Amino acid sequence: MGKIKTVIIIIQLIVIILLLAYIIRLKSQPSPTEEEKIINTLIINDIKEILKLSVLEVNVSDIVESRKEQFVNILSFPVYVGNKEMDLLVRGKMSVGFDLKKMKDDAFLLDKKSKTITVTMPAPELIATDIDYRFMNESKTFWLSIREEERNQIMAFGKSRLYRIARDKRILDKAEFSGVETIQSYLEKLFPGYNVSVIVTARDEK
C-alpha cells in the first residue's frame, strides 16, 4: 500500500508540474495590447489610403458589327427582305480599383519574434467609369428597323468587349504590382529589419 501511495503522489506532482509549465508558457505569449491594436488599426488605414491611390486608368474603344438576315412571312412563306445591319462604336475609360470593404481587420499581422510582417490585400477589380455608345450604319427601312431589345443586346456585348480588351492590356496585373510594391516599400521603411510579405487574394474573374 505504501508503494501505491508513493506512486500516486509522484503522478500528482508530475501533473502539477506540467500544469505550471503550461501556465508559464501561456503567460510568455501575451495577447496584443491595446496599444498594439491601435497601431495595427492605424497601419491598416494607411494601407487603405495607399490602395486608394493605386488606381490605374486606360482608354479603350471597339467597333461591334451586327449583320442579320431578315425574313418576313408572306402567305406562310419566309421571304428574304435584306440584312438588318447595325454598327456600334463603344468607347470607355476603364479603371482598376481595390474594394477596401474586403480588407479584414486582421489584414496586418506583425510577429516581433520572427521579425516578419504579413499583409493580406484584396485583388484589384476592373471598373467601367465611363462608357459611350454611338450607333452607326443603322438600318432605317421598315422591314429592317432595329428594335430596342436588339440595341440593348449589342450595347451589353460591346461593354463586355471593352472589359476583355482592358484585361488583354494586363491593367489588373499592373495595378496589383503597383499596390504590392508601394505597400511593401512603405512597411519596410516603417519597420526596418523586418521581412515583409504581401499576399493578394484570388481574383474573381468574370
- pLDDT value for 91: 92
Residue that has been written with the C-alpha cell 494601407 in this structure: 47
Q: Which DSSP category does 150 fall into? A: H
Choose between 77 and 131: higher pLDDT: 131
- pLDDT of residue 6 exceeding 70: no
Residue 127 pairs in a beta bridge with 95
Q: List the chain domain ranges.
A: 1-30, 32-200
Q: What is the pLDDT of residues 121-157, one digit of tens each?
A: 888 888 767 889 998 877 666 666 777 888 888 889 9
This prediction's pTM: 0.60
Q: What is the pLDDT of residues 143-198, one digit of tens each?
A: 667 778 888 888 899 998 888 888 887 888 888 888 888 888 888 888 888 898 98
Sign of CA dihedral 171, 173, 176, 178: negative
Distance between CA 101 and CA 95 in Å, rounded?
18
